[in-house]
Amino acid sequence: MKFESQVVHAGDRRRKPGVPVPSTTPIHLSTTYFYDSVAKLDRIFAHEEEGFSYSRYGNPTNEALETLLATLENGYGALATSSGMAALHLAFQAALLDRRRSIVAANSLYGSTVTMMDQLLCSFGVQVRYVDICDLEAVARAIHEAQPGCVFMESVSNPLVRVGRMEKIAQLAHQAGAVLIVDHTFATPMLFRPLDLGADIVVHSATKYLAGHGDVLGGAIISNQAHYEIIRTLARASGPILGPFESYLTMRGIKTLAVRFERQCQNAKALAEWLAGHPRVERVYYCGNSDHPDRCTIEAQFAPGLYGALLSFEIKNADRAAVMSFMDRLKMVVPGTSLGDVHTLVLYPAISSHRDISPKMRERMGIRDNLVRISAGIEAADDIIMDLDHALSAA
């Protein structure tokens, strides 16, 4: 099936002889399962037979979502987690469990990810080295010198939308015996599939584009066969699993991902083109820009005609107070701390996604105090533009 059909059908409507098939996946709220014989339960606990015993180990609703996620990312298996950060933490644990406690990471990342590596992982002896992930020579040099157990990157960086050559980076990581982990939240499997390009583990904040409606907090890990069982084993021990109701909502949201994301990409393109000509805008960061520094990589990796639904822009001569005033003047666009919803969202990285990053570090990352990030929704593009124009022009 093509992607547009997979999002609708994968994971649902499993047929068993003589058993009626619900047209949508039921929500299984039970924590505990038993069988006609304890011997069968024993075999299930021993993983000698498929089945459910305790929801921290597996749940039918979660399993349906995980089947869908693995299908969309072309992975061996998936795990639904309680948040995107929980997914990322578990991915790092799985990658570094029997490897050198060292990470080579992109130097432009979500602020909470940097906090996790610098404050949490480092306290457990993990060394982190940051590198320009779009500079292959620098990546190769960093991997050679650090000999990491893991290489980490975002498929599209937050918030300056840089795109690294994933296939080449995967080759460099594997030559050093390292695992490549990719945060694929911004791009979604609709743009491309990191596992097809050599990544070992893919993580998502399912809160964003997958669930898509701002009503679910969740995450996901999808991996190749080599890492799936260790991810499951660690999850059984630490328990960062998603609840069945949230799994149901995420699965329901994914069913419209193809149509939502296509519209969001179209709106982002229209916004980027309009913002580029606005007198109050200094610069626009968007994967569809003809002068994007990673243009060749984007054209090679992304689905034809789609450039993602995220963009950022700098307001001319704006300080923090001016940016906040701009956001306060918005009437329809939501000044919220997320992305991927059906409504358009505007975020100010300096006070939200990158708040815990020092001003000097933000400056080195290229995140200036006049930078604003937009997550395009599915509204009429003209209405989004009208609202942004009002808020910008009133300054």
Q: Write out the catalytic residue numbers.
A: 56, 110, 183, 208
Sign of CA pseudo-dihedral 102, 107, 109, 114: positive
Question: CB–CB of 238/90 below 8 Å?
Answer: yes
Phi, psi of 345, deg, nearest 5: -120, 140
Residue 181's SS3 state is: strand
Rounded Cα–Cα distance for residues 124 and 127 (Å) = 9
Rounded Cα–Cα distance for residues 256 and 260 (Å) = 6
Crossing angle for the helix pair 60-73 and 244-254, nearest 10 degrees? Answer: 40
Element (H, E) at 202: strand 201-205
Which amino acid is located at 62 in the chain? Answer: N
Question: Is the backbone peptide bond immediately before 22 cis, with ω within 30 degrees of 0?
Answer: no
Which residue's structure tokens are 């992607």? 3
Question: CB–CB of 278/257 below 8 Å?
Answer: no
The stretches of 147-224 forming alpha helices (DSSP H) are 166-175, 188-191
